[in-house]
Structure 1
């Protein structure tokens, strides 16, 4: 039961055999996913060109120009899938200027995913999107400090999805501290990373699932360190967001992407 609740936390709707938590319907307040950014501000056009909005109500980032990295709980099983539309190139989802929309052709979900860690997936697109991609962390050196999150999820717990992309910064929370919070004892070490403020107020939320958590690397370029996965409610005190620790799965992600 705990695994199922974790799978439902950052998405907006339950779908794809309960695995795709999307942003069409809110989940219960007790198990809501973090909003795209509760306590966030509007992102500027072109600020995060690698951001992708997925039609099932999740987020993602361009791993390559033809592959989107997202959360396993946002998709169904591995195999051909033409049901997903990826939208990119805009911060305003209603804008048609610069907006690119491409259908999916195939989904790859992390092997062994059962709602407890390993929350990553790849979506292959029918054609490349000519926009910058987001490099992923291949070591743990960037798994600390202050991170940026962005998305179109709810701006309040159980709120509606957003028209405009929001962004916010959240600080790293150690595994020990995170596990000490109510509801977080099941945190999977080395597969999940926590981020947020003890006082709450800033977080990801329903509809942000699958979106990237990123920071600047040594060359001042953006590097992805996390994938929005789960959390208790949105922006509550002592309830940080939990993100898939990308560096742990970097080799597996690269191998899977090369096979698509």
Structure 2
């Protein structure tokens, strides 16, 4: 993946935290090259700090180098660019229940099936996918997803095991977290260049335009962008998708707008 263009689109497959600036960078699939059959490593969190064990229990690390969130006891929600085509798939291992990837208490479950959004790569957008696990996770409450645009604004949280600086390609042993502000569609698209192809109905931008320094990055792809709802519970509003580099000024991360695809996600989950 080109560090100059973040695959020109796919930016969030692996999450990490950038050292000096402690920045979060999102790796996303925007302008992305076609992923490998079993997905590809993406971006990680830059400008973040370590998450505490149990703080985000629904966070999932996928063996192809992406992140995800537990959508249902036996289903993980991730990015379409992280996986191959829809169908039986036993090649992915989901790691759940730890923040340190070397923690031997982690729950590890193999995949059995993958559903890849049929609209991914089209003008409609849809960088999301579901991974069915061989057995349910019984000790973790799944992360709710937004079904309306009510929560598609404000300050969001991001987390992942991706790179801590652009171009590192190493990932992070520990789960890192950070906060990023919402960037309106008109502002994001108005940046031009890489962002001129933003799909406002399907994507949502977030990042510190003036200063940079906080973002998701390679290895973070597929992980959730989330915030609290009116009841004080975590809710997923975005999926790490792509971006122009990691944590650059005037270059926000681009996330799949979950509320746009909530009904399609629910329907697919019911089928698998």
TM-score normalised according to structure 2 size: 0.86
What does residue 22 of structure 2 align with? none
Moved over 6 A (4+): none
Q: CA deviation at 1:5?
A: 3.9
Q: CA deviation at 1:103?
A: 0.1
Q: CA deviation at 1:124?
A: 0.1
What does residue 141 of structure 2 align with? 132
Q: 1:190 aligns with which of 201, 205, 217?
A: 201
Alpha carbons 2:35, 2:81 under 8 Å: kept = no
CA RMSD of aligned residues (A): 2.0
Alpha carbons 2:156, 2:225 under 8 Å: kept = yes
CA shift in 2, pair 1:186/1:256, >3 Å: same
Counterpart-to-counterpart distance in 1, 2:8 and 2:222: 13
Alpha carbons 1:150, 1:212 under 8 Å: kept = yes
Q: CA deviation at 1:21?
A: 2.4
Q: 1:114 aligns with which of 111, 114, 121?
A: 121
Counterpart-to-counterpart distance in 1, 2:74 and 2:92: 13
What is the DSSP-based 3-state SS (H/G/I as helix, E as strand, rest coil) of the residue aligned with 1:156?
Answer: coil
What does residue 40 of structure 1 align with? 48
Counterpart-to-counterpart distance in 1, 2:132 and 2:233: 24
Alpha carbons 2:6, 2:244 under 8 Å: kept = no
TM-score normalised according to structure 1 size: 0.90
Q: 2:219 aligns with which of 207, 217, 223?
A: 207
Q: CA deviation at 1:15?
A: 8.4
Q: Does 1:86 align with 2:94?
A: yes
Alpha carbons 1:15, 1:21 under 8 Å: kept = no
Counterpart-to-counterpart distance in 2, 1:15 and 1:165: 27
Deviates further, 110-119 or 215-224: 110-119
What does residue 26 of structure 1 align with? none
Alpha carbons 1:146, 1:170 under 8 Å: kept = yes
Q: CA deviation at 1:113?
A: 1.5
CA shift in 2, pair 1:245/1:19, >3 Å: farther
* Within-5 A mapping of 1:89-238: 89-97=97-105, 99-114=106-121, 117-130=125-138, 131-159=140-168, 160-181=170-191, 182-198=193-209, 199-238=211-250
Alpha carbons 1:73, 1:115 under 8 Å: kept = no
Q: CA deviation at 1:129?
A: 1.1
What is the DSSP-based 3-state SS (H/G/I as helix, E as strand, rest coil) of the residue aligned with 1:235?
Answer: coil
Counterpart-to-counterpart distance in 1, 2:154 and 2:200: 18
Give the unaligned 5+ runs of structure 1: 24-32
Give the unaligned 5+ runs of structure 2: 15-26, 28-32
Q: CA deviation at 1:162?
A: 0.4
Q: CA deviation at 1:109?
A: 0.3
Alpha carbons 1:214, 1:223 under 8 Å: kept = yes
What is the DSSP-based 3-state SS (H/G/I as helix, E as strand, rest coil) of the residue aligned with 1:122?
Answer: strand
Counterpart-to-counterpart distance in 2, 1:244 and 1:90: 25
Deviates further, 156-165 or 12-21: 12-21
Alpha carbons 2:180, 2:207 under 8 Å: kept = yes
Counterpart-to-counterpart distance in 1, 2:58 and 2:236: 11
Q: Which has the higher strand share?
A: 1
